[in-house]
Amino acid sequence: MKIEIEDFFKPVHVKDTFSKGDYEIIDAFINFAQSLSRLTYQSIYLIDYSKKSFLFVSDNPIFLCGNSPAEVLKKGYQHYFDNVPEQDIQLLKKINDVGFDFFENLSKEERLTHSISYDFHLKQSNGKPLLINHKLKPILLDKSSNPWIALCVVSISSHANAGNIKFKSDENGKQFEYNLETDRWVEAPHVKLKPREKDILLFSAQGLTMDQIADRLYVSIDTIKFHKKQIFSKLKVKSITEATALAIEQSLF
């Protein structure tokens, strides 16, 4: 069955009953998003579920796919259909459905404290697909606690394949992963890094070599190698670059 733009909004349930006064507060969120976009390497945009459109799109090229922010803003969700491979459009529809299903099962008090993260391919200006990570968090709800405005943050994924669907709580750090094979959400074990492991990741992110890190921490190279193996095992990654990206993504520092 062919997927249409409207299919992404069917589970939302928000109604276009907002007044001009209701939308006056939106300017503050747009200004916030503009300011935030100047402080990060990530791409940022705002979704209006009531108008089924984008409210703001930053000028970071990761999300633009060779277009200008104004062009993407005008296209709205058509931007996905133009630049996401068909297989990943199917995946995004699945994520959209199970994501809103998860959201509806949250209490009204929890709905602004959870965010969803997932990976999919987005064609870049050269026509080649890039695996990106998409984090989406509602920042305003309607009177029935349905999502109205959502903040989206786009960055290069630290994974090898699309998917990696997770819901995370800001308050208790709990994470739930969606298993596409079993079609169910499963609570993910909380990863904890030791202080020495965090130090190694931070120094690595600064570009220090293992020799330099060993000197900074007053330990041997073998000790650094041991801790790196522990980090890789905990995070299920194969390189220090992946480990650092994942630690940032999961707020492990």
pLDDT score at 132: 95
The CATH 1.10.10.10 portion of the chain extends over 195-249
| CA distances (Å), origin 127, targets 26, 91, 109, 118, 159 | 34, 20, 42, 22, 21
Q: What is the rounded distance in angstroms from the CA atom of residue 229 to the CA atom of residue 239?
A: 10
Under a CB-based contact definition with an 8 Å cutoff, are residues 82 and 129 in contact? Answer: no
Superfamily of domain 5-188: PAS domain (3.30.450.20)
Where are the domain boundaries for CATH 3.30.450.20 in the chain? 5-188
C-alpha Rg value of the chain to the nearest Å:
20
Pick the CATH number of 195-249 from 3.40.50.300, 3.40.1390.10, 1.10.10.10, 1.10.760.10: 1.10.10.10
Using alpha carbons only, give the angle 225, 229, 230 rounded to the nearest 5 degrees: 120
pTM above 0.85, yes or no: no
- How far apart CA 227 and CA 240 sit, in angstroms, is 11
How confident is the model at residue 57, as a pLDDT?
Answer: 97
Residue 61 DSSP one-character state: H
Contact between residue 150 and residue 46 where contact means Cβ atoms under 8 Å apart: yes
Torsion of Cα atoms, 174 then 179 then 185 then 188, to 10°: -20
**Burial (0-12, 13-18, 19+ Cβ within 10 Å), 94:** middle
pLDDT of residue 19: 85
Q: What is the predicted pLDDT for the residue at 253? A: 65
CA dist list (Å): 81 to 90, 95, 139: 11, 15, 25
CA distance 161 to 163: 7
- Digitized pLDDT (tens) for each residue of the chain, 253 residues in all: 789 999 999 999 887 778 888 888 899 999 999 999 999 889 999 999 999 999 999 999 999 999 999 999 999 999 999 999 999 999 999 999 999 999 999 999 899 999 999 999 999 888 899 999 999 999 999 989 999 999 999 998 888 899 999 999 987 778 899 999 999 999 987 788 899 999 999 898 888 999 999 999 999 999 999 999 999 888 888 888 888 877 776 677 6
- Give me the pLDDT at residue 148, please: 95
H/E run at residue 28: helix 26-37
